[in-house]
Structure 1
Amino acid sequence: MELVPAPQPPLTPTRYPVVLLHGFGALANVLQGGVLHREAMYLRARGIHAYAPHANPYDTVAVRSATWAEHLERAMEETGADKLNLIGFSSGGLDARWLAREMGWADRIASVVTVSTPHRGTALAQFVLDRPERLRSWAVAFMDFVGRAAYELEPPDSFGALRELTPETVADLFPPEETIPGAWCASIVGRAGKGTDVSITPSLALTNRILYAAQGVNDGIVPTDGAWWGERLETLDADHARQIGIGLSIGSSFDSRAFFLSICERLRERGL
């Protein structure tokens, strides 16, 4: 077998380290190392100082952001960087905005790129909260149980987290026109299932239909039109699970690792 002259991938570092912030839900304990760990390792293999830490997947923005802040401090200490690039997946994008505005991180953030972040909320949160009390209590208790199992350092608050993700509350906490002064702010949205020609992971089919009835085309968790913020970059033909490398949508060839690398390539082109 002939040897490839240069088998290692090219080193293509960004100016500032990249921190991937995961979103709401139990996906953080589905994959070894957690959600976005594989993507971070893929970026590191290309010379990018990438981190994919964890916060409680079922907690409020303020609590999660306090955890993120500790991880961001560590990333800056390890790399000696004076700024960071944040890529927020799903509600992780809201956490990034909270860090900048409420926790004094704005001057240490070079960029925030959000991926399928519910910048205008998701009707799914309201749907769960509107269920009869017995069903709602069961759902919240289950999420709290998973949250305690997934992340022992902070107690979960699933009810508070759901309430924050409703369209009405998100509109109050995160005005859609509000960006971060001095930072590049941009967004990427996703679409799949009903109203599109993109297949969807079967486990997201029901939520996809519920959300379509309330807010139109979506990725199974977040409405497509409600995920735009800052500069509009692209629309992904991938559901919420496929965007982070899981899911079983038939015919999908979406590569989450290549996708997150493409975001870093955008950052590098901008000198970030």
Structure 2
Amino acid sequence: MNDRRTEKPLTVARIQMLWMGNLFLTIFLVSVVILSIWLVNRLLDDGFKETFLSLWYPILMIVILENLLFWGGIILVYVTSVQLGLKMRIIGIACGMIPVVHIIVLIMIISITGREARFEKAKMKLDEQRSAQQICRTKYPILMVHGVFFRDMKHLNYWGRVPAELEKNGATIYYGNHQSALSVENSAKELALRIKNIVEETGCEKVNIIAHSKGGLDTKFAVAALGVSPYVASITTVNTPHKGCEFADFLLGKAPAGLRDKVAAAYNGTFKKLGDTTPSFIDAVTDLTASRATEISGYIDQFDFKGAGVYTQSIGSWMKKATSGAFPLNMSYSFVNKFDGPNDGLVGEPSFHWGEHYTFLENKKKRGISHADMIDLSRENIAGFDIREFYVQLVAGLKERGL
């Protein structure tokens, strides 16, 4: 019954092609610079006519070889690179014929793809070295629970490259499969049913739950109020607004009723087409307000999770600055900061705390860690923070606890 929704892992062949493409472009750039200097010197010494008559054939061969190097390299990196991104690919095409600028852009492409190739080769080597240890083979399988406004999809994993990395290291993964936007209580009902089904169909006895954002509230409610605590070994919430979001109270209070209804109708209609049966935009957003989330948490946290044998922990992160996140979190960061203080682009740091153990992630580099980064949404290799390895060590920690 193991859900096969992990994205196709980077293969050895793909990394080799990326490395080869990067090498071709590097050789092209260096050789073009050297040959250009040499050719200019010959032209200055012998003149154009003499140089052309004596060197036309070697020059023709060089032009052909340089074209093969460039186009071979650029095609390989465009096809195989993840980190290059759509923006850089477009810039590369747009600037290809602009003198000097195209050299600068080419250097950027070589730099990005070179770092990616080195990073992925190092990760592959690490996974090979510890393969026999199966450090993520926990006693109970992992149930990964998505946040609001997303669905678990077969070909676009909410958790990015993380599940594939966990499986490589021995983990068994399942997904919540609940609707994208419901009240906390209704989402919890769907999760409770999902948990029972997994346990009944696989005989695994319990699951370890890793829940992102609102998924953490949904999970807590399911365990505390819907009778599934005997089937849950641990709960790890990731950037969950346990105390809600102050900015959500402000927006709901200020937004005209007509606008709210139009947005809700558009959202609900769209996600019904994507597979939801009874999505409710307004119910989901309302339960994320500070006033409502505090009320829900006050009720839920009366439950003795530890006494029920459920290990609990929470994780949070922050962006440091607006430019640490991609759109729309780069736009929301400053706004959220006015209401909730230091935040991940959506949730304020004080709202992350919950459970027996709390981990707050701060990147030592300039780049912060956003709400979306915590689920590898952009599939970006962030300098100073390896999201895939973070989850590997997180699950390895559960294994060490005997869970």
After TM superposition, the score normalised by the length of structure 1 is 0.86
- Equivalent residue number for residue 247 of structure 1: 378
Q: Is the 8 A contact 1:120 1:226 kept in 2?
A: yes
- Equivalent residue number for residue 216 of structure 1: 341
Question: Structure 1 residues 51, 255: closer, same or farther in 2, change over 3 A?
Answer: farther
- Equivalent residue number for residue 232 of structure 1: 357
Confirm whether residue 26 of structure 1 aligns to residue 157 of structure 2.
no
- Give the counterpart letter for 2:157 in structure 1: G
- Equivalent residue number for residue 183 of structure 1: 310
* Higher Cα Rg, which structure: 2
Q: Is the 8 A contact 1:55 1:151 kept in 2?
A: no
- Larger relative contact order (CA 8 Å, sep ≥ 6): 1
Shift of 1:151: 2.8
In structure 2, C-alpha distance between the alignment counterparts of 1:127 and 1:48, rounded to whole Å: 41
Q: Is the 8 A contact 1:193 1:200 kept in 2?
A: no
Shift of 1:204: 0.7
Shift of 1:27: 6.6
Shift of 1:68: 1.7
SS of residue paired to 1:76 = helix
Q: Is the 8 A contact 2:209 2:236 kept in 1?
A: yes
Aligned to 1:260, which of 384, 391, 394? Answer: 391
Confirm whether residue 16 of structure 1 aligns to residue 16 of structure 2.
no
- Give the counterpart letter for 2:235 in structure 1: V
Give per-residue Cα distances to partners, 1:189-238, cap 9 Å, x unaligned.
110144x9x81223212221221100101101111111110133322241
In structure 1, C-alpha distance between the alignment counterparts of 2:163 and 2:174, rounded to whole Å: 6
In structure 2, C-alpha distance between the alignment counterparts of 1:177 and 1:245, rounded to whole Å: 29
- Equivalent residue number for residue 123 of structure 1: 246
Question: Structure 1 residues 250, 61: closer, same or farther in 2, change over 3 A?
Answer: same
Uncovered stretches (5+) of structure 1, i.e. residues with no partner: none
Q: Is the 8 A contact 1:216 1:223 kept in 2?
A: yes
Shift of 1:165: 1.1
Q: Report 1:74-93 matches (<5 A).
A: 74-93=197-216
Shift of 1:34: 3.2
Question: Structure 1 residues 139, 125: closer, same or farther in 2, change over 3 A?
Answer: farther
In structure 2, C-alpha distance between the alignment counterparts of 1:230 and 1:85, rounded to whole Å: 14
Q: Is the 8 A contact 2:143 2:210 kept in 1?
A: yes
Confirm whether residue 133 of structure 1 aligns to residue 257 of structure 2.
yes
Q: Is the 8 A contact 1:199 1:251 kept in 2?
A: no
- Give the counterpart letter for 1:236 in structure 2: L
Q: Is the 8 A contact 1:19 1:50 kept in 2?
A: yes
- Equivalent residue number for residue 169 of structure 1: 292
In structure 2, C-alpha distance between the alignment counterparts of 1:249 and 1:192, rounded to whole Å: 15
Question: Structure 1 residues 167, 81: closer, same or farther in 2, change over 3 A?
Answer: same
- Equivalent residue number for residue 182 of structure 2: 59
Uncovered stretches (5+) of structure 2, i.e. residues with no partner: 1-15, 17-124, 363-368
In structure 2, C-alpha distance between the alignment counterparts of 1:128 and 1:256, rounded to whole Å: 31
Q: Is the 8 A contact 1:83 1:108 kept in 2?
A: yes
Shift of 1:28: 4.9
In structure 1, C-alpha distance between the alignment counterparts of 2:163 and 2:201, rounded to whole Å: 16
Question: Structure 1 residues 27, 242: closer, same or farther in 2, change over 3 A?
Answer: farther
In structure 2, C-alpha distance between the alignment counterparts of 1:88 and 1:62, rounded to whole Å: 15
Greater alpha carbon shift after TM alignment, 202-211 vs 67-76: 67-76
- Give the counterpart letter for 2:355 in structure 1: G
Aligned to 1:35, which of 140, 158, 171? Answer: 158
After TM superposition, the score normalised by the length of structure 2 is 0.60
Q: Is the 8 A contact 1:202 1:249 kept in 2?
A: no
Q: Is the 8 A contact 2:241 2:348 kept in 1?
A: yes
SS of residue paired to 1:221 = coil
RMSD: 2.7
Confirm whether residue 48 of structure 1 aligns to residue 179 of structure 2.
no
In structure 1, C-alpha distance between the alignment counterparts of 2:181 and 2:155, rounded to whole Å: 19
- Give the counterpart letter for 1:261 in structure 2: V
Shift of 1:253: 5.5
How many residues are paired up? 265
Question: Structure 1 residues 50, 26: closer, same or farther in 2, change over 3 A?
Answer: closer
Greater alpha carbon shift after TM alignment, 211-220 vs 73-82: 73-82
Higher strand fraction (1 or 2):
1
In structure 1, C-alpha distance between the alignment counterparts of 2:171 and 2:379, rounded to whole Å: 29
Q: Is the 8 A contact 2:316 2:360 kept in 1?
A: yes
Shift of 1:87: 0.9
